[in-house]
Amino acid sequence: MLKIFDANRDRELLNDFISNLSIRTFNQGNDVAETVASIIENVKENGDKAVIEYTRKFDCPLYTEEDMQVKEEEISKAYDMIDRELLGVIRRAKSNIEKFHVSQVEKSWFSAGEDGTILGQMINPIEVVGVYVPGGTAPLISSVLMNIVPAKVAGVRKIIMATPPDKNGKVNPAILVAAREAGADEIYRIGGAQAIAAMAFGTGTVPKVDKIAGPGNIYVSTAKRLVYGYCDIDMFAGPSEITVIADETAKPEFVAADLLSQAEHDALASAILITVVPEMAEKVKKEVERQYLQLERKDIIKRALDEYGAIIIAENIEQAVFLANRIAPEHLELCVKEPFGLLGYIKNAGAVFLGNYSSEPAGDYYAGPSHVLPTTGTARFFSPLNVSDFLKKTSVISYSRQALHRDKDDIIRFAEAEKLSAHANAIRVRFGGSKDREEKFGKDKDSGGDENI
């Protein structure tokens, strides 16, 4: 299942493999984009009617307009349906996520100069945010918390959540409980590209949002790309991925388990080991093949590892770090003797896990940082979902007459260099007139030297 590359001998094959990682979500053909575009246009034009049509087709045949918004009664019943221990876990995880993100909150600031200039930045939360949570065979309870809690900490006024119903029109009760615990204001029983379109444009029932966050399949991801600009989105996320750098101190059974934990997400998921110890490569490969047989999602795991799984044998730790930075993985584990010593050399990763006991699932569920992370190499320029994603920054500029008089000639020269005479005139008129007036009558007395300030 796992291909083995020697970083020096198999350089060309390795280059092809790494290049393919960054484009694997875009190799799905034009059919997906065309289908999603037609769904978006239909929802944009026909609102609730289109949403009901698609939900009946893809999810629940007996779906009606009454089913769109989850009622308070159903959320209350969900609390009775879930295990008490799971409820405690949800609440403790929420607390960890909240504590981590509170430290990210930014404040407005202002700076006053002696000449009367005041410059600053106002920070305000986004008004309305939509969060998408997939349905399917694996209810992503953790995604509810990881998307909603940072928005709540940021102070977003209204948070709505969309998640698909099952064929009987039901939503997993743990999803509903997690949404209520995290702070969702409204929950809608809608899935797929139609849910993204409904939140982006609004319908008779679903409010229009300013930003959409949350994971999804290729149809959901494509829909988010297509509505970007009508509203904001969190990031262009792809399938899950993990890279592990391991030396002789790594535990092969631990590394194998963590690689498998990401491969079970999706057939497009990527799991890579980079090691400086050839013996470690063989041990991990054997462990993967042994543990794989005990797991439930074997078909998905095999497809992922066959296509996007690899073990890379590096010449030294410097080459291992170079390759990891080039891959720019969503999750990077440093299973080495001195992980903190290596941390400063890591430039591109969504989240870094240090040491043999910092297992990636701890970050997925519980540690605190959001598990919404950049994928497919976008950690080179994207950051994890955080409080700042739900805040808007507004610049503030206040000039006194004295301050503008000091800078006016420079501003006018800039405007004239760009051949924007109206810009220049907007400054001149504040000191006695336009350019034509100056040429005809000379400079106004009031626009002279500092004695007039």
**pLDDT for the residue 92:** 98
Listed in order, the ranges of the chain carrying CATH 3.40.50.1980 are 3-27+238-381, 47-236
Catalytic member of 241, 264, 330, 333: 330
Task: Answer whether CATH 3.40.50.1980 is correct for domain 47-236.
Answer: yes
**pLDDT for the residue 428:** 96
The domain made up of 3-27+238-381 has a fold known as Rossmann fold (3.40.50)
SS3 of the chain: the string is: CCEEEECCCCHHHHHHHHHHHHHHHHCCCHHHHHHHHHHHHHHHHHCHHHHHHHHHHHCCCCCCHHHCECCHHHHHHHHHHCCHHHHHHHHHHHHHHHHHHHCCCCCCEEEECCCCCEEEEEEEECCEEEEECCCCCCCCHHHHHHHHHHHHHHCCCEEEEECCCCCCCCCCHHHHHHHHHHCCCEEECCCHHHHHHHHHHCCCCCCCCCEEECCCCHHHHHHHHHHECCEEECCCCCCCEEEEEECCCCCHHHHHHHHHHHHCCCCCCEEEEEECCHHHHHHHHHHHHHHHCCCCCHHHHHHHHHHHEEEEECCCHHHHHHHHHHHCCCEEEEECCCHHHHHCCCCCCCEEEECCCCCHHHHHHCCCCCCCCCCCCHHHCCCCCCHHHHEEEEEEEECCHHHHHHHHHHHHHHHHHCCCHHHHHHHHHHHCCCHHHHHHHCCCHHHCCHHHC
Catalytic member of 181, 241, 307, 331: 331
**pLDDT for the residue 322:** 97
**pLDDT for the residue 116:** 85
**pLDDT for the residue 115:** 84
**pLDDT for the residue 440:** 46
451 is catalytic: no
331 is catalytic: yes
Q: Note down pLDDT in tens along the chain; length 453 residues.
A: 899 999 999 999 999 999 999 887 655 567 899 999 999 999 999 999 999 999 999 999 999 999 999 999 999 999 999 999 999 999 999 999 999 999 999 999 999 988 889 999 999 999 999 999 998 667 889 999 999 999 999 999 999 999 999 999 999 999 999 999 999 999 999 999 999 999 999 999 999 999 999 998 889 999 999 999 999 999 887 889 999 999 999 999 999 999 999 999 989 999 999 999 999 999 999 999 999 999 999 999 999 999 999 999 999 999 999 999 999 999 999 999 999 999 999 999 999 999 999 999 999 999 999 999 999 999 999 999 999 999 999 999 999 999 999 999 999 999 999 999 999 999 999 998 655 545 544 554 444 444 333
